[in-house]
Structure 1
Amino acid sequence: MGLDTAAAKPHEKLARMLEGDMDAVGTMIRTRMASEHAPRIPEVTAHLVEAGGKRLRPMLTLAAARLCGYKGTDHVKLAATVEFIHTATLLHDDVVDESRQRRGRPTANLLWDNKSSVLVGDYLFARSFRLMVEPGNLRVLEILSDASAVIAEGEVLQLTAASDLATGEDVYLQVIRGKTAALFSAACEVGGVIAGAPAEQVRALFDYGDALGICFQIVDDLLDYGGATATIGKNVGDDFRERKLTLPVIRAIAAADESERAFWTRTIARGRQEEGDLEEALALMARHGTLDSTRATAIEWATTAKTAILALPASELRDVLHDLADYVVERVV
């Protein structure tokens, strides 16, 4: 889920502001992903970790802690924890989805094999739990361990709802809140908790991360039907080929007439896809305006995120987080 190259780049501003802490996070990641007995672990991990991802989630942890006045070093461990959890889920997701490209590069399961991807993902989950207990904060442990379970729950829900044309927007929201927003919100929340911030600020950080994560995933799903491969880091139309019921498709199905529903039944429910079906799917979504309505929904969630972050003390860092929400949706505006 890469960010594009538009002129305004809040994530780059954020990286510059957090450069020292992010360097420490990078060092910790390289140290903790090492394995004395299984060299394939750091090989597979490095392939994904060093593939040019923006590391937005760990930056959110560092930014949240700094916004709340934190002066210690445990936020670095928590940021590394968040990145390990994220990397582990990507390794597992690529196996489940049989993906062949991630961040513009071949996936680990393609370069090595499914077994290696799953087992290295398991190792990273284990390392993340080792890291998250080191600060000795039970609330932090609760937040991050709960988020790990919710992420898995969201992926399983998506699996069970996949190809079911009865899947509605409520289930879609539950899926993306689990598979994506849960880690965004946890990354922000633990930054406030480790800083000892007041409850209302911690809640605001959670709400910001939740809304930003939902917006991020909606935009990612939208870009699958209109983004450049170089921008989104995967092949355009992958979600359609994998028969995923994302918001533009769910809305097109809800508005479909009898012949259109037959198309969706054949391509999504039964998986019998033919040449030209992606173009037909795009035409149906255009006919019913579901790409535009999905874009509007993403903007609504960005507004929710911007409103939430205003509860934090005014600062340049807060302004960058505010702008980040706008930038996420600018990729599709």
Structure 2
Amino acid sequence: MDGAVDKPKDGPQDRLALALAEDMAAVNLLIRERMSSEHAPRIPEVTAHLIEAGGKRLRPMLTLAAARICGYAGTDHRKLAATVEFIHTATLLHDDVVDESQRRRGRPTANLLWDNKSSVLVGDYLFARAFQLMVEPGSLRVLDILANASAVIAEGEVLQLTAAQDLATTEDIYLKVIRGKTAALFSAATESGAVLAGAPEDQVQALFTYGDALGIAFQIADDLLDYGGSSAVIGKNTGDDFRERKLTLPVIKAVAKADAEERAFWVRVIEKGQQNEGDLERAMAIMARHGAMDAARTAALDWSRRAQDALKVLPENPLRDILADLAQYVVARIA
């Protein structure tokens, strides 16, 4: 979700940043302190290149907001917020190596500027730093939440390797992939903030549900925009997922309804990777014919509503209202 949307300055993320400015200043200081390395100067070089590249810091803000909504008055939520950002950054470093990416947030990737070994090892270092930080508040349950999320993220990445270009991939498998890719860290961010605050169980569950649904709604919307958004809006070129042969929800829905001729087309362009000029337009026409785009849009809007509904059990709070606006905002681009 980072940097993927060009937002107006009064968007929900900006209002969240303003409301949490003091906490976020402390989190950013903590991140800079903990990403340093006395013995390996390449570590802060690589980390700073990514962390200071203009990411929106949404995940740590979700942790801070969840804790504050639930009445937390201490400072350990800042450590959890930094933990979440380190986990996120580590996964980005690893992802760029796996995907052989060359640009992220409009800048050359770390693996391009340095090398794959540096990206992988610095990612490992950040995971280690994350685990050091998540232990410090002294909550075994928080540790369990964040450790589990780290496992789900890795599991989702491995699943994507096998499912990405396999036409047998189902919507259930797609959901597992995007939970690992996006939603797992969102839900861990919100749930851990609530647990740290000692919130009642229904509030903890509500914030988990919110983060999970928010992440899924965003990812489906992002996948939809790949077949109809401008690069300024989505942070990538229209059709990138198609060219990279990624089986996203609109394609999965179209494949499920394909006749023999259409299936042969999908086998050629996705499984075999034999793409010709005009294939993207043909793919979009097939998806439109079967209502795949509309069905995926409906799914994204449904997940957004789930996220908004989950917040209703929480205490009234301006931060709660901003989180509700955020859930609506991530799908406003496709509504």
Aligned partners of 1:88 and 1:122 also within 8 Å? yes
CA deviation vs aligned residue, 1:229-276 (integer Å, no higher than 9, x gap): 233223332221221111011011112111111111011111112232
Please provide the CA RMSD for this pair: 1.3
Displaced runs of 4 or more, over 6 A:
none
CA deviation vs aligned residue, 1:306-332 (integer Å, no higher than 9, x gap): 000111001111111111100000122
Aligned to 2:246: 244
Aligned to 1:169: 171
TM-score of the pair, normalised by structure 1: 0.97
Aligned to 1:270: 272
Number of residue pairs matched?
333
Distance in 1 between residues matched to 2:277 and 2:36, nearest whole Å? 45
SS at match of 1:4: coil
Among all aligned residue pairs of Structure 1 and Structure 2, give the percentage whose two residues are the same amino acid.
73
Residue identity opposite 1:111 in structure 2: L
Aligned to 1:132: 134
Distance in 1 between residues matched to 2:105 and 2:9, nearest whole Å? 21
Of 300, 303, 307 in structure 2, the residue corresponding to residue 298 of structure 1 is: 300
**What does 1:75-94 align with in structure 2 at a 5 Å threshold?**
75-94=77-96
Aligned partners of 1:103 and 1:234 also within 8 Å? no
Aligned to 1:30: 32
Distance in 1 between residues matched to 2:44 and 2:239, nearest whole Å? 31
Residue identity opposite 1:257 in structure 2: D
Residue identity opposite 2:119 in structure 1: S
Query: 1:117 offset after TM fit, Å?
Result: 1.2
Unaligned runs of 5+ in 1: none
Aligned partners of 2:17 and 2:61 also within 8 Å? yes
**What does 1:1-333 align with in structure 2 at a 5 Å threshold?**
1=1, 2-6=4-8, 9-333=11-335
Aligned partners of 1:103 and 1:232 also within 8 Å? no
Distance in 2 between residues matched to 1:20 and 1:327, nearest whole Å? 24
Unaligned runs of 5+ in 2: none
TM-score of the pair, normalised by structure 2: 0.96
Residue identity opposite 1:113 in structure 2: D
Query: 1:8 offset after TM fit, Å?
Result: 5.3
Distance in 2 between residues matched to 1:29 and 1:58, nearest whole Å? 11
Query: 1:6 offset after TM fit, Å?
Result: 4.7
